[in-house]
Amino acid sequence: VYPNKEESEIRQLSKAFYHHFCDILLEMAVFPFKSEKAAKKRIHLTNPELLETLYAEGKMVMAVCGHYGNWEYYSVMGFFSSYSTLAVYKPLKNPYFDRWVRRNRMRFGSAVTPMEKVYRELFSAQKAGRQMMTLFVADQSPMYHQIQYWTKFLGQDTPLYLGVEKLAKKFDAAVVFFHMTKPRRGRYQLEIKLICKSPAELPGHGITDGHVQHLEKLINDAPQFWLWSHRRWKHSYERFLKEKA
């Protein structure tokens, strides 16, 4: 990914990543905040007014993040806005850890659903007049048979899910990116970046390209806080092209 970095820089980056990864494990072990005050002590949202403006305009929101910083902390976003929150997740193979993750993410009012049920949840919410903010961790690798779109990400040919842009277009939802930084250990700062108020503003795959570019910049600025252990490039673009030819 970083061919111009010296070997010593790569070793330093690797060491910093594992330090941060250990921090995440500790934070997850004690994750269930006892109160809203405790959550806001660890997470500072710099611009809550953006979400409130979108809420006042009656917009649904698709909120995108990556496996960066501590993505589990997004489960407390209900503390920071008027929206009802729905967290999209990929069920884990281990039933114990799956229950544990679901329980933690639902602790402060976020609903949790797998991707294949999101449309039904949002349709029901829209019909009931509830404004939803749906949270996506969008840097996961799709299964090979699900690949529909490739782009350059960190210099690599990378397949991407298109679920965010498809749902945004279906519900005319605003799309935002969660720009999380880690100013010091155990503390995170979050800025909401607006990608579009309406999907019509970004034709083609502009929404997907937009959130990928935001994540790429975030990683390049401080790469040690991204989940490098995640198998992001397990699919071959060359193989894909040959099979589609």
Q: Say how many domains are in the chain.
A: 1
Which domain covers residue 28, as residue numbers? Answer: 7-244
Q: What is the mean pLDDT of residues 110-125?
A: 91
Interval 144-168: pLDDT, tens? 999 999 999 999 999 999 999 999 9
Determine, yes or no, domain membership for 25: yes
Beta partners for residue 137, in sequence order: 65
Instruction: Output the pLDDT for position 216.
Output: 98
3-state secondary structure 175-199: EEEEEEEEEECCEEEEEEEEEECCH
Determine, yes or no, domain membership for 27: yes
Query: How far apart are the C-alpha atoms of 58 and 226, rounded to whole Å?
Result: 33
Distance of CA 18 to the CA centre of its chain: 21
Q: Which two tokens stand for residue 108?
A: 């402060």
Interval 63-105: pLDDT, tens? 999 999 999 888 888 889 999 999 998 877 788 777 877 777 7
Q: By three-state DSSP, how is residue 162 classified?
A: coil
Determine, yes or no, domain membership for 1: no
Residues 80, 46 contacting (CB under 8 angstroms): no
Q: Which residue is it, tokens 């997740």? A: 89
Determine, yes or no, domain membership for 2: no
Alpha helices in the chain (DSSP H): 7-29, 36-42, 48-56, 95-106, 118-127, 163-171, 206-221, 237-244
Determine, yes or no, domain membership for 37: yes
**Is the pTM of the predicted complex or chain greater than 0.85?**
yes
Instruction: Output the pLDDT for position 32.
Output: 56
Q: Which two tokens stand for residue 85?
A: 């929150």
Query: How far apart are the C-alpha atoms of 153 and 156, rounded to whole Å?
Result: 5
The whole-chain average pLDDT of the chain stands at: 91
